[in-house]
Each structure stands twice: as C-alpha cells, then as structure tokens.
C-alpha cells in the first residue's frame, strides 16, 4: 500500500491492529478538504460510491466531491433520507443497486459520509456487494467518530430490534474531520459525548475523571476535542484488535447498550423522542444503578455517572423520554432480542465501580423486570 500523506499539525493517527487488514483512523481539522489526497495516497486509481443523507450533503458533499475530483478520484453520490428509519432493507437494496449501477468493482470503495446510520448502512452494503468491497468512513457526527465508524460492525435494524441484521466488515480508512462537528446541533454533539464517556466508564477511570474536568473544552473544540476523540478511538481500537468479532471482551463496548437499545426500540426509533447516544446515556446510568442494586458496586458510583451526564445536558432517567413508554413486558421482549443474549440467558455489561465494567452472564430476568418497573416510575 502507498504511504499516507504527511501528518498535519494538530492531527492524531490511531492504527487499528488487524494484521494485513489493519487501518488508520486519522483525526484532526481540515480532513474534508484533504480527503482526496489521503485516499489517493493509500488506494491510487480507486473509484467511490458516496453514500450520505440529505442533511449532511447540503453542508459537506460539495467539499468532499471537490477534494476527490482534485485527487483524480471518480465518485458517484447517493443521497438518502436522514434518521434511524433509513437503516432498513429497502434502503440497503437502494444502496446496493446504486453501487452496482455505477459499475464499481470489488477493488473500488463505498464511502460513507455521515453519522452512524449512514456508516452502518453503507458498510453493510460494502460488505455484501460483490462479496465484499473496500469501505471508507468519513464520520460527520461525534458519535460516529468515536464509536460506530471504528471496528467493522455494520448493519440495519429489524422489527425485532436494533442492528440485528448485518456483517463485520472493517473499513480501509477512517477520516474524522473534527471541524465538521462545529455544524452539529448541540443535541447531536451531546449524544456522541455519551459514547465518549463510555470508554472511561468501561476501563479508563482516569479518562472519565479528565472528561469530568474538561468536558466544556471538548464541546468548544480545539486540541481538547481532538485529544478526547483520539483517546476514545484508541480505546476502541485496542478492544477491536483483541476481539474483532465480539467473542469475549469486545462485548464490554456495549456498556449501557442493552438498556439503551430496548428504549430506542420502545420509541420506534423516533429521533424526536430519543437518539442513540441519549439511549446509551440512560442505559449507562441504569447499568450502574442495577449494579448497585445487585450489591456489585457503590450507589455513589451510579450517582457520580448520573451527575456528570446531567451536567453535560444528557437525559439520564427513563422519565426523561418524552411521551409514554412501552410496558415493562415489551421492554423485556426487546432486551431478550439483544445480540448479547445467549440461549435465552440475559447478558449485561455491569460494573464494580467507575472503570471496572465486566460481562455478567445469566442475569436474573425477574430482577431486571422489577428494576425497570421501579425506574419507569421514578
């Protein structure tokens, strides 16, 4: 592979160690304007199908296509509707037809320009068209930059739950332009911050403490933001390198997600009521509170997590979700469909304290039911 272009000032590069399939996560300002040179240096002669949504395209597509054109890269864009409901079979077929209609070959790439929805959908298409094409991630949301763009999980939602249909398909390159985050609505930035905080709560207590002290500078931008994104990507890259297909330790990255995914499903993926990062924020508080209830951790840790996420402006209680939630029975049905369930036994990521998360197998369903019943009313 051709060497990448020279690293720019203020930029961080995190490498995901997967042998011959390893790849770089490049993090820093101005990458949208330089993406053509970055891609051409690594994959000369490549052609791309750009998959994006209409909201992102209105702000960033022109700059992307100009950069690709300047580097001699032919690109064919496809604009989809924004929102979680785009992660469905109909849109998957739409993307696959677009890639095939553009006569792209296996060595060409699907380029995802957008947040987690676009990345998951485009990556799934890249993983199955021609039995696997190259895939490039250009995440435009904080959540995608620190989480969904890294690690190769791709997929769509099903009526039974979130992300239940998909493949593991690693990208060739991730370009995370930190400048594009300035165009995000504050709600979306906060939602991404929940995933950032998650890495500290899993096994990096010093990072969580740093976020508690420095979150305002992360929100305002500059080097603190770049540092926090790089630390998050480094945390995820280490886990992915050790357990690419979630056979063991990678499941820790799902802290807060079992509860959070059930809440998303219970709101029918209506982003007006709840977006993914908000579900994760509530889910992480629930995971810490449930751990305290099971006498695994101190209630003070759960209170600390809730206090920080509250301060940031994230929802932290089930009652923070607008409108009426599904019954606890329905929530339990969604939890039972979670990918971490094994032979009907509930598996949760619980904790013994800040930065001390672990995989808990065979969690008693009756305890979870009673816990959720209480939380629905408090």
Give the residue numbers marked as catalytic: 131, 153, 195, 236, 246, 250, 254, 257, 261, 276
CA distance 92 to 114: 16
- Residue 340 CA, distance from chain mean position: 17
Q: Let me know: does 230 contact 219? Beta carbons within 8 Å.
A: no
Instruction: Give me the residues paired with residue 345 across strands.
Output: 342
User: Can you give 125-192 as a three-state secondary structure string?
Assistant: HHHHHHHCCEEEEEECCHHHHHHHCCCCEEEEEECCEEEEEEEECCCCEEEEEHHHHHHCCHHHHHHH
Q: Which two tokens stand for residue 208?
A: 């969580």
Instruction: Give me the residues paired with residue 342 across strands.
Output: 345
Angle in degrees, CA 31, 178, 134, rounded to 5:
50
Q: Let me know: does 108 contact 48? Beta carbons within 8 Å.
A: yes
CA distance 64 to 228: 25
Q: Which two tokens stand for residue 174?
A: 């991730």
229-254 burial, b for 16+ CB within 10 Å, e for fewer?
Answer: bbbbbbbbbebbbeebebeeebbbbb
Helix (H, G, I), strand (E, B) or coil at 244: coil
Tracing tokens 């079992």 back to the chain, one arrives at 258
């Amino acid at each position: 592979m051709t060497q990448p272009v020279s690293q720019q000032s203020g930029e961080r590069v995190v490498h995901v160690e997967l042998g011959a399939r390893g790849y770089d996560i490049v993090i820093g300002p101005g990458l949208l304007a330089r993406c053509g040179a970055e891609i051409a240096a690594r994959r000369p002669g490549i052609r791309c199908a750009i998959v994006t949504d209409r909201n992102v395209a209105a702000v960033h597509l022109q700059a992307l296509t100009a950069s690709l054109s300047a580097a001699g890269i032919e690109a064919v864009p496809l604009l989809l509707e924004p929102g979680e409901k785009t992660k469905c079979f109909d849109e998957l077929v739409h993307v696959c037809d677009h890639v095939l209609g553009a006569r792209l070959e296996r060595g060409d790439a699907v380029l995802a320009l957008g947040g987690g929805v676009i990345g998951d959908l485009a990556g799934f298409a890249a993983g199955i068209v021609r039995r696997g094409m190259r895939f490039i991630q250009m995440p435009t949301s904080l959540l995608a930059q620190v989480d969904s763009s890294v690690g190769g999980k791709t997929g769509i939602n099903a009526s039974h739950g979130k992300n239940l249909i998909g493949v593991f398909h690693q990208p060739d390159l991730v370009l995370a332009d930190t400048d594009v985050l300035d165009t995000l609505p504050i709600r979306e930035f906060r939602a991404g911050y929940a995933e950032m905080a998650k890495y500290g709560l899993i096994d990096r207590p010093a990072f969580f403490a740093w976020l508690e002290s420095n979150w305002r500078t992360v929100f305002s931008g500059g080097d603190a933001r770049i540092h926090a994104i790089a630390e998050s990507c480094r945390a995820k890259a280490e886990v992915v390198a050790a357990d690419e297909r979630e056979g063991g330790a990678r499941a820790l990255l799902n802290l807060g997600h079992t509860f959070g995914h059930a809440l998303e499903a219970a709101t029918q993926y209506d982003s007006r009521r709840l977006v993914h990062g908000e579900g994760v924020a509530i889910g992480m508080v629930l995971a810490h509170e449930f751990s305290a209830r099971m006498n695994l951790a101190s209630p003070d840790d759960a209170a600390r997590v809730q206090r920080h996420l509250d301060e940031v402006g994230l929802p932290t209680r089930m009652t923070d979700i607008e409108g009426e939630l599904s019954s606890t029975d329905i929530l339990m049905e969604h939890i039972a469909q979670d990918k971490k369930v094994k032979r009907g036994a509930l598996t949760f990521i619980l904790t013994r304290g800040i930065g001390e998360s672990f995989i808990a197998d065979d969690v008693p369903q009756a305890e979870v039911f009673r816990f959720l019943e209480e939380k629905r009313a408090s």
